[in-house]
Structure 1
Amino acid sequence: MYGKDRIYKKVEVIGVSPDGVEAAIQAAVNRAHKTLDRLSWFEVQDIRGHVQEDGRITEYQVVLKVAFELKD
């Protein structure tokens, strides 16, 4: 499956969701998958969110590095 001469490029994306960290990650990966060929893996760099005045969390923001394999 994996060749010996794989080269990857990483780019930063930020996923946003009101439904939690995992949903924010999935949103970022879904969008990256639509725009980048040969998407391979991701790394979570940072997690943050928005808190309302009443203390409720209304938005999760996850900064990811996603990697895709460069074409020959």
Structure 2
Amino acid sequence: MKDAVYKLTELTGTSSVSMEDAVTKALQCAYESVKTLSWFQVVETRGSIKDGAVDHWQVTLKVGFKVDEVELPSPE
């Protein structure tokens, strides 16, 4: 088994419905261009308030995905 290499990037999903919906939207959008998504971590949650209630959610995620394998020289 070869060792894998992963790339880490940050996304912010938004939703007027829920935090979970904001996460799902961010992941679905990222998956359209990166099919090797592996994991995510919620790093920040925030939102806006209107008339004393949550109006909109913003959830920032770190998303990891496997990068294409390349043949590297063996250490000698």
* Structure 2 residue aligned with 1:65: 62
Tell me which residue corresponds to 2:74: none
Give the deviation of 1:56 after TM superposition.
1.6
Same amino acid, percent of matched pairs: 38
Deviation at 1:6, TM superposition (A): 1.1
Please, which runs of 5 or more residues in structure 1 have no aligned partner? Answer: none
Q: Give how far 1:37 is off.
A: 3.0
Q: What is the rounded CA distance, in whole Å, between the counterparts of 1:32 and 1:67 in structure 2? A: 11
Structure 2 residue aligned with 1:56 = 53
Structure 1 residue 36: Cα displacement = 1.3
- Normalising by structure 1, we get a TM-score of 0.89
For 2:56, give the aligned amino acid.
E
Distance in 1, matches of 2:40 and 2:3, equals 20
* Residue equivalent to 2:43: 45
Count of aligned pairs between the two proteins: 69
**What runs of 5+ residues in structure 2 fail to find an aligned partner?**
70-76
SS in 2 for 1:26: helix
Larger Rg over CA atoms: 2
